[in-house]
Structures are given as structure tokens and as C-alpha cells.
Amino acid sequence: MEDWRQVLAKSIVRPKDLAERFGLDEKEVEAIVGPYPVRITPTVLETIKSPGDAIWKQVVPDVAELDDIAADDDPLEEDLMSRCRTSFTGIRTEFS
């Protein structure tokens, strides 16, 4: 089994690499992925058959996300279930 650090090191994190892997225009991928942090492991990459398939949609941001400025920051209300809280100073603290 491959060490997790090696797996992470082989992951795609740059829009340029994602564009090259799937034969896409680098500028288009940069416009979509650029604002978001992305890390796609080799295992997940192998399951993506083509841009836009189900796995792609789970791991690559969509251009529509850039236009949805009225969307709730936490639509799944995960912050309500989190033990971490952000104070007015922006410091995250964990409550036990």
C-alpha cells in the first residue's frame, strides 16, 4: 500500500495539470478552479471518465458556483453540527 504522503504528492492541485490531464483549455479551467483549493488524488482521477461525469462534478468546481453570490455560505448547516466555532475575532475554537 502506498504511503499517504506519496498519494498526496501525486495529487492534482493546479488547474494547469487538470487541464493537461483531460485535454482542456487551461484558461477555462483556471477560471473555474482558480478561486477554489483543489486536490484530486490519483485514485479519484482514475475514476473520472470524462469532464462533466458524476465523479468530476463531485471534485471539480462548476462555473455556476461563481455566479451564485446569493447562496447560503453553509447550505447543509454543517456549522451547527460542528464542535468548532469562529469568534468575532475570526479565531476558531473547539468546544468539548
* Per-residue H/E/C for the chain: CCCHHHHHHCCECCHHHHHHHHCCCHHHHHHHHCCCCCCECHHHHHHCCCCCCHHHHHHCCCCHHHHCCCCCCCCCCHHHHCCEEECCCCCEEECC
Q: Given this model, what pLDDT does residue 91 score?
A: 56
Q: Give the CA radius of gyration of the chain.
A: 17
Average pLDDT over residues 70-96: 63
pLDDT at residue 87 greater than cutoff 60: no
pLDDT at residue 88 greater than cutoff 70: no
Domain segments of the chain: what residues?
A: 4-68
Against a cut of 0.95, is the pTM above it?
no
